[in-house]
Amino acid sequence: MIELIATTTFGLEAVVKRELISLGFRIIKTEDGKVTFESDFSGIAKANLWLRSADRVLLKLGEFRAITFDELFEKTKALPWTDWISVNGQFPVNGKSVKSKLFSISDCQRIVKKAVVEKMKTKYSKDFFEETGPNYTIQVSLLKDVATLTIDTSGAGLHKRGYRVSNVSAPIKETLAAALIMLSYWNKDRALYDVFCGSGTIPIEAALIARNIAPGLNRKFASEEWPILDQEIWTLNREEATKAIDRTLNLEIYASDINQENLTAAKSNATQAGVGNDITFFKSDFKSVNFSKDYGIIISNPPYGERLENENIYKVKQMYRDMGKIFNQLETWSKYIITSFEGFENLFEKKADKVRKLYNGKLKVRYYQYYGPRPPKERG
C-alpha cells in the first residue's frame, strides 16, 4: 500500500474527504489544505480520474523532522526515489516553508534535488541524468520543521478537465464550482439555475455530477507516463468510468448571462464536456429570468467588485439589492451565492442560513447558503 495526498483549497477539506470515502479510500488524516489517504497503485488512476474538488493527487514518499540542511539531505536521500523515478525521468523540485528553521525555499529545493540525484546514482551507476522522460515533479513542504516529500501524480491541476475550449474573464475554477454544487441541496431531480453563468463552469460541473461522468476522463495525467504504473491500470479505470456514466437522465439545468460572448463560450465548453444537450442556455439579465418552477436551486457566482473598476462598485451594490428583492420572493427555492463582497447580506436584505469561507484562486470569498424547504417527495 502507498500513501497519497489530495490537496485542496482551504475550506474544502471536508468535501474532498467525503469524495475519497465514497470512492472507497481509507482516510489517514485530514489537515489544512490536504487529505492523506491509503491506496494501491490503481488508486492513483482512480483518484485522478474521479476527484472533483481536489487540486492535485500527490504520492507521499516520506515525512520527517529536519532543522538542518544536513538532516534534510540525508533523510531525503534515504527515501525510495528510485522505486518510482525512471533513469530518464524529469524531476524538478518545488518547495514551500512555513514556520520552519529551514526557511530558504531555494536552498531546500537545491538540497532535495542533490539528494535525489545522489540516490539515483546509486541505482543507475551514472553521474549525469538527461531528464528527457516522464515528469516526476517533487515537492518539499516544510511546516513547523517537519518536511513532507511528495511526487505530483497529476501534472496539470485537476481543475483542468479538458473541456474549457472557450474562456472568459474571471472564471471560477472547475474544482470550486464542483464543490459549491456538492455543498448545496441540489440533486439531479431538481431544477438548477445559474443566472450569471459566465463560461458555464457551474452548470457544466452540475451536469457532470448528475451523469456520473468522471471529471478527468478526457485528459492526461503525469503519472500515466510512469513505467512503474502499468498502462492496464489506466485502461481499466477509464473503461470502468465510461461504463459508470448515466445516459438516461433528462436534466433541468438552466444557464443564463447578459453577455452573448459568455454564452457562446459556455455552449462550446458544455459541448466539449459532453453535456451540451443537458443545459439550456439563454441570454438574459437575471432580473428577467422566469423562475416558474417550485423547489428550484440557484447557484451563482455574480460579479464581486474586485473584477470591476471602482466606478462600477455602485452597480455591484445595486445588483445585490435587486438580487435580494427577486430571490427572496422565491420562497420554495434554495439560493447559493459566492462573493467576496463582505456586505452582501445587508444588501441582499436577508441573513444566510450558513456562510462558508472559501477561496476563489487567491481571493477570499464567502459562500452564502439560503435553504428553502424540501420538496414534498423528499420528505419523510
Kindly report, residue by residue over 126-144, the tens digit of the pLDDT.
Answer: 888 999 999 999 999 999 9
Percent of the residues in the chain that have a pLDDT greater than 70, as a whole number: 97
Residue written as cell 463552469? 201
Nearest to 162 by CA among 177, 171, 174: 174
Q: What is the pLDDT of residue 13?
A: 98
Q: Which of 58, 227, 44, 61 is nearest to 133 (CA)?
A: 227
Identity at 148, one-letter amino acid code:
T
- Could you tell me the CA-to-CA distances from 129 to 15, 78, 95, 117, 174 in Å, in that order? 41, 19, 21, 8, 37
- Does 47 score more than 90 pLDDT? yes
CA atoms within 13 A on the CB side of 248: 3
Q: Which residues pair with 57 in a beta bridge?
A: 6
Residues 206-215, mean pLDDT to the nearest whole number: 98
**Could you tell me the three cell numbers for 17?**
474527504
- The cell for 323 is 438580487
pLDDT higher than 60, residue 380:
no
Say which CATH architecture domain 2-152 belongs to: 2-Layer Sandwich (3.30)
Q: Are 303 and 319 in contact (CB under 8 A)?
A: yes
- Give the tens place of pLDDT for each residue, 273-331: 999 999 999 999 999 999 988 999 999 999 875 554 555 788 889 999 999 999 999 99
Q: How much is the pLDDT for 231?
A: 95
Task: Give the pLDDT of residue 312.
Answer: 74
Average pLDDT over residues 343-352: 96
Task: Judge whether 222 and 92 are in contact, CB under 8 Å.
Answer: no
| CATH 3.40.50.150 assigned to 174-211+246-374 | yes
Does residue 379 carry a pLDDT above 80? no
Mean pLDDT on 82-97: 96
Contact (Cβ atoms closer than 8 angstroms) between residue 197 and residue 254? no
Cβ neighbours of residue 219 closer than 8 Å, sequence gap 6 or more: 156, 160, 161, 162
Where are the chain's structural domains?
A: 2-152, 174-211+246-374
pTM over 0.85: yes
Q: What is the mean pLDDT of the chain?
A: 94
Sheet holding 297-300, edge to edge: 279-283, 253-257, 192-194, 297-300, 334-339, 363-370, 354-360
Total H helices, total E strands in the chain: 10, 14
> What was the pLDDT predicted at 157?
96
Position 25 pLDDT exceeds 60: yes
As beta bridge partners, residue 151 has 59, 138
- pLDDT recorded at residue 305: 58
The pLDDT of residue 149 is above 80: yes
